[in-house]
Structure formats: C-alpha cells, structure tokens
Structure 1
Amino acid sequence: MQTHEIRRRFLDHFVKAGHVEVPSASLILDDPNLLFVNAGMVQFKPYFLGQQTPPYPTATSVQKCVRTGDIEEVGKTTRHNTFFQMAGNFSFGDYFKEGAITHAWTLITASQDEGGYGFDPARIWVTVYQDDPEAAEIWQRVAGIPAERIQYRDGKDNYWDMGVPGPGGPCSEIYFDRGPEYGREGGPVVDEDRYLEIWNLVFMQDERGELSPKAGHPPVGELPKKNIDTGMGVERVALLLQGVDNVYETDLVRPVITKAEELTGRRYHSSDDHHEDDVRFRVIADHARTSAMLIADGVNPGNDGRGYVLRRLLRRIVRAARLLGASKPVMPEFMKVVSETMAESYPELSTDFSRIERVASGEEAAFLRTLDTGSRLFESAVADVKSHGHTVLGGTEAFTLHDTYGFPIDLTLEMASEAGLSVDEAGFRTLMAEQRDRAKADAASRKQAHADEAVYRELLDRGSTEFTGYTELNSEAKVIGLIAGGSRVSSAQAGDEIEVILDRSPLYAESGGQLADIGRITASGVRLKVKDVQKIGKKLWVHKVTVEEGEITEGADVLAQVDPEWRKGATQGHSGTHLVHAALRQILGPNAVQAGSLNKPGYLRFDFSWQGGLSEAARHEIEEVTNEAVLADYPVNTFVTDLAKARAMGALALFGENYGDRVRVVEMGGPFSMELCAGTHVASSSHVGPVTLLGESSVGSGVRRVEAYVGLDSYRYLARERALLAGVATALRVTPEDVPARVEALVERLKAAEKELEKHRAAAILASAGSLTSAAERVGNILLVAQAAPDGVSAGDLRTLAADVRGRFGSEPAVVALFSTTAEKVPFVVATTQAARDFGIKAGDLVREFSPHINGRGGGKPDMAQGSGSQPGGVTQAIDAIRAALATRAS
C-alpha cells in the first residue's frame, strides 16, 4: 500500500467517524518553544492548554513534522527520519480511552477491502502506563488482545506531557511484531526493532505541576475535560505494509537513494549495518525530503535559527554526495525526485518547484565553491595533528576553515569526529569573538576602499538625479558621469557597454516591482540604447547603455527619451497591479496584504499574504471586480503629502520600507485604491484595458501569487483561448458551449474502455497461471516455478500472477519465482507455500541468493518478497541460484 493511500485511509476513517479533517499546519508556527513543528498535536496546543475554545469536538490530521535534535545520527539507524508525517485523531472533551482504542483497533485490523490497513491482530502488542490498568482492561475487552501481549511500562516510556505545567496523561502504544528474523521474542520491553511502534494514544486526563509524572511525580489534579491526542507514524506503517525492512526502502524515500546511486555510481545496501556508503545514502534521502519541505514552507538558508538548520541539511547532502563520488551538482535532481514523489500529498512541492530548486541549488553552488579547498586544508591539518600524536584539532584551524572557507563549525566537528579527533571549541569561540570586534572597528574603512562605492559616492555628493518621467517622456539633460568596469571614464566609443549618470532623466529606474524603462539617449552624432536603469542610494539614476553610434563624453548635453510603447505598457501593468490589489482586499478582506510584485508591459504578478489557495469562484470574482474598476474609468490622481497625513487617509504603505517624511500617494477611484507608490501610472483606470487572471499559486508559506495580462496582451491571450476553444469545438463537431459536456462524456467513455481493457488483460494474465503451474520442476522436496513471466505481464502484475500460481499448489511445498524482462529493469516476485516454509525456505532469503546476478535489490516477508534488478541478462543465472539454494535446503 502506497504512503499516499495510507494517509488517505487514515483521514477517511476518522472523517467517517465524525471528525473534522484539519489540514497540516506549516512546519513554522509562531511558537517560541519550537524551531519547527515536531508533533501532530502542536497546532491544537491552544485547545489542550485551554487558551482557546476548540471549534469542533473531534478532529483528525496528517501533520508534517521535523525533528533535528540529532542530525548526526541520521542514517545510522533505519527507522528514524528528520521529516516525518504524523497522522492523528484528537478529542477535546468528547470520547476518551475506549473511543480512542476502538478507533485505532478498527483501522489497523480492518481488511484493506473494508478501508483498513489489514494488520494481523495476532501480531499486535500494546504497552500501557504502569498505573493504568483501565487501558489494559479496555484492550482485552474491546480488541481481544490477550494479557500476555499487553505490557506495562513506567512514566519515562508511557506518560506524556508538554514538558511544562499543564495537561498530561498516560499513553498506550501500539506495536507490530515483525517476526523473529528482526530480533528477540518478548514484546516491546525486550526489543523495539522487532516490535515496531506504530501508534501512540495519549489519554490526557491529568494536570501536571512543576514536576512531571514521567519522572514518577504525581499529577496535581485532574483536567475538567478529558482529551485524546494520538500520533501514528505514517512512514512506519508504510514500512510494514510495503513489506520492506526499513523506512529508507519505502516508496517515498527509496527513489531519492535510487537517484543518488545513479548520480554517484555507488550501490546502496538495505541492511541495518553502518557501512559508510549506506549511511551517506540515507543522509541524502532523509535530508533531501526535509530540505524541500522546509523551503516550501518559506525557510531560506541562513546563519542562525531555522535558516542555519536548513543550510546544514543541504550542505550535508552535498558532502555525502561528493564522498559517494558525485562530480556534478545534485540538488536539482534530488529536489525533482522529492517533488515527484511527495507532491500528491503536498502540491506546493510541484507548484513552487522552481523556487525550491533555486534555493537548494544556490546553496549547493555556494558550498561547492569552498568545499574542495576547505577539505584539502582540513585533511592537511588532521594529518599534522596525528603526526604529532595529538587528538585535538586546534581552534585556530577550525577558525580558518570557518572564516576563510565558509565551513560551519558543526561541519568541522563532524569531519573531525569521523577522523577520530575532537576540536578545541573554546579556542574557536574566542577567535570568533575577536574577529567580530575587528569587523566592527574597520567596517567603515573597508567600505570606503571599494572602488565602485567611491565612484558613486563622488557623484552622489554632487546631488540627486531629477526624475522628470511623471510629466514628460523626453528630457534635456547633462552627462555628469560615465562609468565602465567600475571606474570613471571621460568618454566611450561605439560598441562600448557603459553606465551613464544624468542630472535629470525621464526614464524610470526599477523599483516597487516596476521594471525600468527602456529608451535612448541622443546628441549630435551620438546614439545610446538604454537597456536598464537602476538607483544608487535611492537618488542617483544609473543608465546602463550600449553606445550604438558616435562618442559620448562626460559633460555632454543630451536628450533622454523613453520608449513610449514600453512606458504605456508599463503603466498599464503597474496600475493594473493596484486594481488587482484593491479587488483582492475587497473580496478577501484586509489580511490580503501585498508581499511583492512585478509589473512590466502587458503583464503583472502580485504576491499577497494568504493561507490556502483561492477557489475558482473567488478568482472569478477578483477578476470581475478588477474589470469593473477598469470599466468605471476611475481618474488616477497622484499627490505628495506628509507620511502621517497619508496614513491617516488610509493609504497603504507596503513592504516595510523606510519612507521619508514626504511621500507620493496614488489614488484610483477615491476609496477604491490608495497606496504609497513612486511608480508611473495611467491617467484613468480604463487605460489599463481588460485584465485577465492567468492563475493563482503558492510561492511559500502563507504567500500566494496571482498573475495577469493587461491591455492588448490580455486581448491577445483571450483571442488565443477563443481560437483554441473553436478548434476543439470543430474537432468534436459541437458548439463551443457544448465542449465541456462533450469532453466530460469522452473522458467517461475512455475510463469505461480502460476498465474493460483491464478486465481482459487481467483475465489473460490469470489464464497463464495454469501453464506456469504445469511447468513446475522438482528440486529435492520442493516444486519450483522459476522463469520469465509471459509477454504482456507488467511489473505490477507479477505479484498477482505469482500469488495465483502459488495458490494452485495447495498444501504442497512450492516456490514461485517470476521475472519480468520486458524493460531495462528486471522486476521480480518470489512466493512460497506454507509447506515450503515448513522446510525453512523463506522468500526474502531466496532474493538475497539470486539478486547479485541481476544487480537487484528487494525483500519482504517469508511468504512473499519482491524487488527489481538492472541486468536482464542475469535472469538465467538467478534461476540457477534459486535451484542451488533449494537443493541444499530441501533435499
């Protein structure tokens, strides 16, 4: 069962039981005690603490969680992840112990056909708190679990609280017995590798004081309402239902390792050992998922807090990949795999993929620039320390790695530990403090030493560029400076790329989301093409130009000209942005605050603060309100006033910018739109032209984006859409109005045809079972069917076919091993009858015998195992290996 299905079944089970499905909260919540959300109940803490009244009596969610306390240990065990999904059900004063136990037991033991997980009840164990015989009694009465499979544990294991005075209560944990091949008998108290915990039920009934019952101290009272908080580990349930040995073999994690194998040329082994390569593969798989999820929720690499954790994760991926043999950037590939595997449950990984990839790849590029050189320095320092018989890497060496090569101290500590050394951290901290003091003392002198700063500073001291573009598109001006290659020059010739500073200019310098104007600067015999205009110090206009003709000299009188078509389109885009912003606030309310924008001729992009996607109806209404404002032909007025007066009038101040005492206000239609803005705008709203919203998406946690065409570009877009619809209508021989219904009907017909085709295909596959059974050979006491599957049997059908063939042998000892060789990969399935297992023959053991011949990986339970290889030419040798194994075990 795939992980996405496990999630869905959990939520469906509890929704059917009357719970409200609550979406996962962001990994970043406003909680001073948490760096990241680390448990399913975190978003419900205000309800448990009594700070807020819950809006529903029961709830269910699958919460994304991150725990990074022991990053260095990742990969050394095979059942822990830094990112994981916690499925939970919650009761706020509604049902209590018996309800929680009943709900959990029903879900885990109901058959998969009935919507459950289908776990064998005989393999379920539970633990209860040592002072909670009531829970044990309920487990026996409701679930029929015998007393010998119920174990009592102390508060350290089976009592939960938040670590501070407040609600708490005893726990009951559910475990699954994976079988003797995974460890010792005796239940969870003996071996938690064999007996794997999958679900923790917390019965919140107590109020704890300063001292916790986890440490044996009694609670100070009872809660007025008894609550339920449970957490089921989705990845652990996937491990069991997918028949694999560890979480790294599950469907949402293993693909990252597969990609790492492809990029590095090394092979991964799924065993529990601590082989260095295998640990590195697991580090990559774990950290790639966690990093993608953090970036999707708005975390960026940084030097402290959440940003530092993300930076550390990303750099550990890069280093692990390099140690495995990767020679090229890996982040784009790893982020792509994570997006493809996880997006079904977390669509933002797909819709926001370009930003996620950009952030991860940027950090990789920055780290790779320093890693090679820094690693050589580190290895030299380690060799020197060891050659003198010492075991401590000096603080000076650690500081040099950090200061010169960008190595975080945590990476140095990790690398030193791998080399069998410790680090003089105290010495490192001392040098870091000294470095900060020096930086404060000489920052000013270093800044003045920067050539570009000196050039611009001299020009800034002469005064500001006068912007004339609000009232004219052509302005006479004087060249007050020419810059080429970071230095002042007196002149430039045709073909040169230079920067031109004018005393006055009508060309808009990029700011406030509006792109710079393009245009020309001309004089007698001189023509410059203006490609970009930027501000220096908020008051100096720097025109980036190409000299197309003649020679331009400092001090020359020129004519600066804006491209009128560009300006017209740019004003349409910027004014359209204001209209869309106003429409958003009118439809969604004042919390839809601008978080960024980009406008250029014919196009606008607007980011705003908002949780959750917009409905189709909301998008339509926003577009309609925007175009009603266009049709209303509101006059666009601009004026300059005091900042305090502008705020009092209701003008919106955006981006958290530092405004001066005097500000420019752009007002459209009186109260409809009023914003502080230095951009250029149309004379009236009708000049914006039609506005067509292209779509709406997420660009990070709590930030949405709408995009739109305006003016002629909007008309052209609608014309293309109309032509496309007309083409479809012609092909379907219906009117455009009837296209949706006709397409829907065709889709339904296609689905029906596919179902019918699937029936015929399934029947054909099962028909081949008889011929396979009759072809069985006897090896010792065992009947063996080992061969390539018939043509047309896909990898997904192998399991069904193998199970059917096995069933035809009834009580006879038999092994069925089928290989699919219709593609470059070699999927396989091995199935055994009970009689064969009585001889000690296990499907998973046979896989280990033959998988080297096909360069394969796989595993499973004694009755059935599956996997895949990459060498089709080795199937014959693999079958011979199975015969040899059976000959020695069942003779």
Structure 2
Amino acid sequence: MQTHEIVRRFTAHFENAGHTSVPSASLILEDPNLLFVNAGMVQFKPYFLGDVPAPYPRATSIQKCVRTPDIDEVGKTTRHATFFQMAGNFSFGDYFKRGAIEHAWSLVTGSPDEGGYGFDPERIWVTVFETDDEAIELWREIAGLPEERIQRRDGEDNYWDMGVPGPGGPCSEIYYDRGPEFGADGGPVVDEDRYLEIWNLVFMQDERGELSPKKGNPPIGTLPHKNIDTGMGVERVAFLLQGVDNVYETDLVRPVIAKAEEFSGKRYGSNTEDDIRFRVIADHARSGVMIVGDGVTPGNEGRGYVLRRLLRRIVRSARLLGITEPVLGAFAEVVRDAMSPTYPELASDFERISAVIRAEEETFLSTLSAGSRIFETAVEETKRAGGSTLPGDQAFALHDTYGFPIDLTLEMASEAGLSVDRDRFAELMGEQRTRAKADAATRKVGFVDASVYRAVLDTHGGTDFLGYQTLSSEARVVGLLRDGASVPAAEEGEQVEVILDRTPFYAEAGGQQADTGTLSGASFTVRVDDVQSPVAGLRVHRGTVTAGTVTLDADVEAHVDPARRGAISRAHTATHLVHAGIRGAMGTSAAQAGSLNAPGRLRFDFTSPTGAVPPAALSEIEEEVNTVLQSDREIQTYETTMDEARKLGAMMLFGEKYGDRVRVVDMGDYSRELCGGTHVRRTGELGLVRVLSEASIGSGVRRVEALVGIDAFKHATTEHVLVSQLAEQLKARPDELPDRIQGIVERLRTAERDLEKHRADAVLASAGALAQNAEDLDGTALVAVTAPPGVEGNDLRSLASDVRGKLGARPGVVALFSADPDAGKVSFVVATTAAARDNGLAAGKLIPSFAPAVGGRGGGKPDLAQGGGTDPSGIDAAIQALRTAVRG
C-alpha cells in the first residue's frame, strides 16, 4: 500500500466518522517553545488548553513534523528521522477512550477492501498506563486482545503531558509484531525493534501541577472536558504495509536514495558506512525541502541554522559517496515529485524552494573545498604529534576564517578517530563575541570610557534636539573632550568632541547618516564632521578646531550644512516610499532589515523569503514611487501614543524598541511608518528616484540601492550617453541593442562549445594510443597512467571507457589518474573488460589495493569505479600496487 493511499484512507476513515479534516499546519508556528512543529496536536493546543473554544467537536489531520534533537543519529539507525508525517484524530470534549480505541482498531485491522489497513489482529500488541484498568478492559472488549498482549508501563512510557502545568493523561500505544527474525519474544517491554509502535492514543483527562505524573506524581485534578489526541506514524505504517525493512525503503523515501545511487555509482545495502550516508541524504532532503517550503532560509541561528546544517550534511554525505557535482537541486526535485500529491504547494512554489537550496549548496561547496584541506592538515599534525584531540584553536580557525561549521568539524574529526577540544573552542567563540560587542561600541563611542559622557549627562542633562524645526540655533558648550578626556579648552588644529545643551545636528541613527556643519563662537570655529549618541539622550559633535580656542561653557552658533541635510532627508523619505512599494509588490513578508540614508543615495535591505524581486516588478516599483513624487503629497510628522499608532496602521520595524510616545511619518495612504529621522515636507521635493540594483546580501535578505534627486538625474544622463556610444559602435538604434548584444553573446557561446568539443575529441583521440601501449601482466592488459593535462571529471570517465573499448575481448584493466598538485588532489577511474571480470578482476574491488598510496579511497561497480585522494606524489606507488593486485 503506497504512502499516499495510507494517508487517504486515514482521512477518509475519520471523515466518515464525523471528523472535520484539517490541513497540516505550517512547520513554523508562533510557539516560543518549538523551533518546528513536532507533533500533530500542536496546532490544536489552544483548544486543549481551553484558550479558545474548538470550532468542531472532532477533527483529523495529517501533520508534517520535524524533530532535530537526534540529528546525529539519523542514518546510523533505521528508526531515527528528522521529517515524518503524523496522522491524528482529535476529540474536544466529545468521545473518549472507547471511541478512540474503536476508531483505531477498526482502521488498523479493517479489511483493505473496506478501507482498512489489514494488519493481522493476532500480531497486534498494546501498552497501557500502569493504573489504567479501564483501557485494559476496553481493549479486551473491543479488540478481543488476550491479557498477555496488553502490557502495563509506567509514566515515563505511557503518560503524556506538555512538560508544564496543564492537561495530561494516560496513553495507550499500539504495536505490531514484525516476527522473531527481528528480535526476542515478550512484547514491547522486551524489544521495541521487533514490536514496532505505530499509534499512540492519549486520553487527556487530568490536570497536572508543577510535578508531572510521568514521574509518579498524582494529578491535581480532573479536566472538565475529556479530550482525545492520537498520533499514527505514517512512515512506520508504510514500511510495514510495503514489506520493507525500514522507512528509508518506502515509496516516498527510496527514490532519493535511488538518485544518490545514480550519482555515486554505488548501491544501497552493499556497505554499512555508505548506507548511513544514503539514509542521511534521503531524510535530510525531505526535511530540507519541507522546511524551505514553509519559508525558512538557511542562516546562522535558530531554524535557519538547523536548515543549513541539514542541507550541508547532505552535501557532505554525497562527497563521502564520491559525488563531487552539485546535487541538492536534483534531490529536491525527487522530493517534490514524491511529496506534492499530499503537499501541492511544493510544486507550485518549487522555483523558490529550489533557488534557496541551490544557493546554499553553492556557498557550502566553496567552504567545503577550502576548509577540508585545512582540516586534513590539522588532523595529520595532530596524529603526527601522537594526539587524539583536535585543538580548539584549529577548530575555531576553521569556523572563523573558512566558515566551517563546528558540527561539521566534530563529525569529520570523529570519522578521523579524533575528538575536538570543545571547551577551548567555546572559550574562543566567547572572546570573539566580546570583541564584536566592544567594536560595535567603539564605532559609536570611540575609545572613550562611556562614564565620561554619563558624567556630562548627569551634570547638565540631555541634549535638546532642535533639528526637526531648524538648521541653526544658539547653544552652550557643556562638555569638551580631547583624546577621551575632559578638557577646559582646545586649540586650533586639535580634534575634539563637543557636547551642547541643545543642537540642530542629527546624530547618526536609524540608518540615517549624521549631519555635518560648524560650531562658531566669538573667537573660534569648530568643523563638525560627525555626530553620535554614545549614551542615550546625549549628542556628541566630533570635529576639528579650525580657528581660535574653544572653551567649556562658551556660547556657540550651531549651523548644519543645509545641502547635506536636504540630500539625506530626501534619501530617507525615498527609503520609506521604496519600502512601501516593495511591500506592495512582494507582500508583507518583505520587511525592512536595515538601511542607509546618505546624501543623494539610499540602500534598503529587506527580508524576501520568495527570493529576488523580478526585474519587471522592480521597474513597476520605481514607476510607482515616482508617481507618488509627481503627485507632490504632503508629508506630515507627528507624535502619538503607541496604541494610536497601531490603530493608524503605522509600520513598526521588527527589532526596534519604541517608547509610549512615538513619532509617525505619514504620507497618506501610501506610507505610514514610525521613524525618528528627518524628512522633506512634500514628496515632490525628491525630484526623481532611480533604482540602480537589487541583489542578495545573505540568506533570505535582499538589498535595493537607489539614487535620489540630482544624483539620480546625473546617473540617468550618464546612462543615456553610454547607450548612445554603444548604439554608435554596434550600428544599431538604442531599442535594437538588446537583440544585437544577445546575438553577439550567442555567437561567443557557440564558439566556446565548438572549442570544448574539439578539446574533448582530442582527449578521446588519445584512447587508441593508450590501448596500444598497454602492458601485459600474465595475460591481462593493463593501462595505468596519469591522464593528459586537463582531463578530469566526466572526461576522465569517458576516456577510461573508450580505452577499455579498444582493448577488445581480451582481459583488460584501465586505471587513469588525474592530479592537481597545487590543490593536493588526485582523481582516478578504474574500468575493466568483461573478460577481466570473468577472471575475478572487479573495478570496485581493485581500488582498495592502490588508493591508500594516494591518500584516498573510492568504490563503484565491477565494470567502472572511481575515487579520489590527497597525495599526487603517490601516483607511481599506486600504479605499482595496482600491478601487484592484477597479477594476484
């Protein structure tokens, strides 16, 4: 019975029993305790907790789930998996134990012709909570189970709660006896490999207190409404009904392994270590596709980190199987084809899913190539010194310099028979975080002790900001610092920090660059180059005394450079408009993730789970923004309460901290955001907004750059000149340029393909000469040489096959090596003729005889095998070892 049919039957069975079919929830739910949904009941928690009334008395669902605590065990056993489907039926104060047992028993043992699964009732065992006599009686009555196939277990096994005070209850689990060949007699309490759990029925009847009944503590009460929560493992039922040994061999998982077999030339079931890698690929490919499908992108924290780790474990496992080309896209396609009948969104959204997965693989392949060489060197040094632990300093260098994840270092070290000094690694990571925080503070505070600023703040109070109303104001110097220390005066040529009691200068914040200008006194002038707010409430003017001597308590005239302020304000206003345009085109998931507002230009970063903004959409956004400019809308700024701002629908940036009073920048129905920056009075003052580019700056984050005002006009003028020059050189009108350039590019590509074909033909032409010069080893023709320069990868395999073909019907072995001394890399391919194989010479079995000489390994089929190593200097020794093996 195919998995999709198992799912269909489950849903139909419970729909016919009056259950509402509820679609699977996303793997990502707003639950602070969960990275991913890990059980079928998660989306129903509010109903079980009584937070909201259930909209239906009974429900059924097929919930996609991800559990990652045992990620390192995946592949090593046939039971651990990160992705699985949980079929469940739920009752919210409706039926209870009797109904749950009746529904489960009739489906599990019902005739396949009548919609059941057809399990043999004589091979069904159940467990119950140790004091649940009622459940025991119901199993006897409803299922006719004899007492010896009903086993009592304690709370650790057969009691459920959520780990916190709230609902809970005893469980009853259904097991299937796979037979004596899978383990010992005695039921689930003896062997849970032979007796496999397929369904758990939770009788939610208790209210637990601080201490859980799982630990033997009594519940503190009884729930006013008794509920049912069950979960049937779809994959476990599938492998039992499909007559295979584990979930990896079922119809929805085995195709991924088949694709890995196709890529690697190896076969699942022939090697224990390889089987682990096949299973890791199959499991993680499903998990990765499903997680990306629900909007997660690879990253360095939380869900993004788990996803990144899953995808990178696939690539790593593929490498260990001898696969060097990119594979994640192909595996994702297999998962899509297998899973989309149940989850059609995988097909409709596959372009985005594939793009995310392929981009992560491309990044990791680069990391893996550089980091692996450094790692292997570190391993050799450790073993040469007689050590068994890779130093934490080297693990940190791999992480910090080469982007090598620590979990990958741990995994590879284990394979090399080493441990890793994790304490030292953690210590260095902590030092790095401390430095990063200090660096961030230094950029704002300089190298000054922040207590100097706080002393000014405590004595004189904060700096009144007047910059929303004016660009010039009178003020008094209340703080003067030179080289990080308070001074009474500073002379011409000295760099100073000036703190005023009031100022029109905007301090860098919210992506907006600081104002510049001058501070002028009776006999001095200070050029202000930067303004920062090192402590809340204080604005520090950094610059140089250009004339006279500035003193503490001096009166000044503060003047902001109006041209710079105007250009920055136009850029900041344009950022709000671009943000609104992008959200309008891409949806509300496109949220601001950073910005830069500089004179005449802006940089806007935003989250984009769906990938790049299409060029056509980007053009429409640009046109829409300029239409808003043309309409010359009034821009209003006002303060209000946070609650009122929410009612107005004002945009609030994720991660920002707001007080009770907030400042709103309002452009009518087009844009309304909370913002403390400076802006123009009307949109028409921007003149022109020109979007320059849109690109990725990280997983799930995009960046748009644009010019504003005169800078945008100058750019457009420059582009016009360049297009005119190009049109003149190509003798084409401007509107003909795309086709003309495309034609030139196509001709270049054709020429490159022709050159590649000629090169390949030249390589294969050498096959005859190699075959002709084969040496005779006791009747077996051996061709064992280093291939011509440039022959590697597919060319190496093709050349080996061609040479083998030219050896004819005689016994023959072909071994071709490709060396890259600079990279410390060796590739090799072994091919055998049919006559050689009849004599016991199998390509895959010959590799172990010579691969150690080049520091490598490999494998494959009897007729063709391949592998690689790290020591090109050992090729001659490898060839000699192969001669010995062929003679033997």
Relative to structure 1, the CA distance from residue 743 to residue 662 in structure 2 (aligned partners, 3 Å threshold; closer, same or farther) is same
Q: How far off its partner does 1:626 sit?
A: 0.2
Counterpart contact for 2:571–2:601, Cα < 8 Å: yes
Relative to structure 1, the CA distance from residue 593 to residue 856 in structure 2 (aligned partners, 3 Å threshold; closer, same or farther) is closer
**Aligned-partner SS, 1:581:** helix
- What are the superposed Cα offsets for residues 844-886 of structure 1, whole Å, 9 maximum, x if unpaired? 3433333344444433333222234455554443322221221
Q: How far off its partner does 1:79 sit?
A: 9.4
1:165 match: 230
Q: 1:200 aligns with which of 246, 250, 255?
A: 250
Relative to structure 1, the CA distance from residue 420 to residue 478 in structure 2 (aligned partners, 3 Å threshold; closer, same or farther) is closer
The correspondence of residues 188-227 of structure 1 with structure 2, limited to 5 A, is 198-201=248-251
Computed over aligned residues only, the root mean square deviation of the Cα atoms, in angstroms, reads 6.1
- What are the superposed Cα offsets for residues 603-659 of structure 1, whole Å, 9 maximum, x if unpaired? 223344554133333222211110011122223333445555555555444446554
C-alpha distance in 2 between matches for 1:131 and 1:729:
81
- What are the superposed Cα offsets for residues 497-528 of structure 1, whole Å, 9 maximum, x if unpaired? 44321011111012233222122323344333
Relative to structure 1, the CA distance from residue 760 to residue 699 in structure 2 (aligned partners, 3 Å threshold; closer, same or farther) is closer
- What are the superposed Cα offsets for residues 185-214 of structure 1, whole Å, 9 maximum, x if unpaired? xx976xx9xxxx74434xxxxxxxxxxxxx
Counterpart contact for 1:174–1:198, Cα < 8 Å: no
**Aligned-partner SS, 1:737:** helix
C-alpha distance in 1 between matches for 2:420 and 2:580:
62
1:69 match: 70
**Alignment gaps of 5+ in structure 1:** 1-23, 54-58, 89-127, 134-149, 177-186, 202-229, 250-269, 317-335, 359-378, 380-406, 424-449
C-alpha distance in 2 between matches for 1:785 and 1:241:
26
Q: Which amino acid aligns with 1:624?
A: E
The correspondence of residues 608-627 of structure 1 with structure 2, limited to 5 A, is 608=606, 611-613=609-611, 614-627=613-626
Q: How far off its partner does 1:814 sit?
A: 1.6
C-alpha distance in 2 between matches for 1:238 and 1:583:
44
C-alpha distance in 2 between matches for 1:856 and 1:793:
19
Q: How far off its partner does 1:542 sit?
A: 2.0
1:772 match: 770
Residue 241, structure 1, aligned to residue 241, structure 2: no
Identity percentage of aligned residues:
42
Counterpart contact for 1:158–1:173, Cα < 8 Å: no
1:862 match: 862
Q: 2:460 aligns with which of 459, 462, 469?
A: 462
Q: Which amino acid aligns with 1:165?
A: T
**Alignment gaps of 5+ in structure 2:** 1-23, 49-53, 57-61, 87-117, 124-180, 184-191, 203-228, 314-325, 333-351, 368-387, 389-405, 424-447
**Aligned-partner SS, 1:879:** helix
Q: Which amino acid aligns with 2:672?
A: M
Counterpart contact for 1:84–1:233, Cα < 8 Å: no
Counterpart contact for 2:857–2:867, Cα < 8 Å: yes
C-alpha distance in 1 between matches for 2:55 and 2:807:
62
Residue 745, structure 1, aligned to residue 743, structure 2: yes
C-alpha distance in 2 between matches for 1:554 and 1:854:
75
1:20 match: none
C-alpha distance in 2 between matches for 1:132 and 1:842:
48
Relative to structure 1, the CA distance from residue 295 to residue 672 in structure 2 (aligned partners, 3 Å threshold; closer, same or farther) is closer
The correspondence of residues 241-280 of structure 1 with structure 2, limited to 5 A, is 241-243=263-265
C-alpha distance in 2 between matches for 1:550 and 1:699:
47
Q: Which amino acid aligns with 1:468?
A: L
Deviates more, 1:581-590 or 1:505-514: 581-590
C-alpha distance in 1 between matches for 2:298 and 2:826:
41
Q: How far off its partner does 1:600 sit?
A: 1.6
1:183 match: none
Relative to structure 1, the CA distance from residue 354 to residue 503 in structure 2 (aligned partners, 3 Å threshold; closer, same or farther) is farther
The correspondence of residues 188-587 of structure 1 with structure 2, limited to 5 A, is 198-201=248-251, 230-231=252-253, 234=256, 237-238=259-260, 241-243=263-265, 297=297, 301=301, 345-347=354-356, 452-453=450-451, 455-456=453-454, 458-460=456-458, 462-484=460-482, 487-494=485-492, 496-535=494-533, 538-587=536-585
Q: How far off its partner does 1:697 sit?
A: 4.4
Q: 1:785 aligns with which of 778, 783, 786?
A: 783
Q: Which amino acid aligns with 2:70?
A: G
Deviates more, 1:78-87 or 1:533-542: 78-87
Deviates more, 1:492-501 or 1:568-577: 492-501
Q: How far off its partner does 1:479 sit?
A: 0.6
Relative to structure 1, the CA distance from residue 772 to residue 663 in structure 2 (aligned partners, 3 Å threshold; closer, same or farther) is closer
C-alpha distance in 2 between matches for 1:307 and 1:347:
12
Counterpart contact for 1:245–1:859, Cα < 8 Å: no
* Count of matched residue pairs: 620
**Aligned-partner SS, 2:468:** coil
2:633 match: 634
Relative to structure 1, the CA distance from residue 457 to residue 27 in structure 2 (aligned partners, 3 Å threshold; closer, same or farther) is farther
1:599 match: 597
2:666 match: 667
1:886 match: 886
**Aligned-partner SS, 2:690:** strand
C-alpha distance in 1 between matches for 2:31 and 2:484:
47
Q: Which amino acid aligns with 2:265?
A: G
Q: How far off its partner does 1:678 sit?
A: 2.5
Q: Which amino acid aligns with 2:260?
A: A
C-alpha distance in 2 between matches for 1:619 and 1:42:
42
Q: How far off its partner does 1:478 sit?
A: 0.7
**Aligned-partner SS, 2:572:** helix
Counterpart contact for 1:86–1:233, Cα < 8 Å: no
Counterpart contact for 1:695–1:707, Cα < 8 Å: yes
Counterpart contact for 1:84–1:235, Cα < 8 Å: no
C-alpha distance in 2 between matches for 1:174 and 1:631:
68
Q: How far off its partner does 1:45 sit?
A: 12
Relative to structure 1, the CA distance from residue 477 to residue 694 in structure 2 (aligned partners, 3 Å threshold; closer, same or farther) is same
Q: Which amino acid aligns with 1:885?
A: A
TM-score when normalising by structure 2:
0.56
**Aligned-partner SS, 1:799:** helix
Counterpart contact for 2:515–2:530, Cα < 8 Å: yes
Q: Which amino acid aligns with 1:690?
A: L
Counterpart contact for 1:296–1:348, Cα < 8 Å: no
Relative to structure 1, the CA distance from residue 508 to residue 632 in structure 2 (aligned partners, 3 Å threshold; closer, same or farther) is same
C-alpha distance in 2 between matches for 1:516 and 1:356:
41
Q: How far off its partner does 1:555 sit?
A: 0.8
C-alpha distance in 1 between matches for 2:665 and 2:364:
32
Q: How far off its partner does 1:763 sit?
A: 4.1
**Aligned-partner SS, 1:820:** strand
**Aligned-partner SS, 2:250:** strand
C-alpha distance in 2 between matches for 1:831 and 1:685:
72
**Aligned-partner SS, 1:599:** strand
**Aligned-partner SS, 2:35:** coil
Relative to structure 1, the CA distance from residue 69 to residue 571 in structure 2 (aligned partners, 3 Å threshold; closer, same or farther) is same
C-alpha distance in 2 between matches for 1:419 and 1:747:
52
Q: How far off its partner does 1:168 sit?
A: 4.6
1:713 match: 711
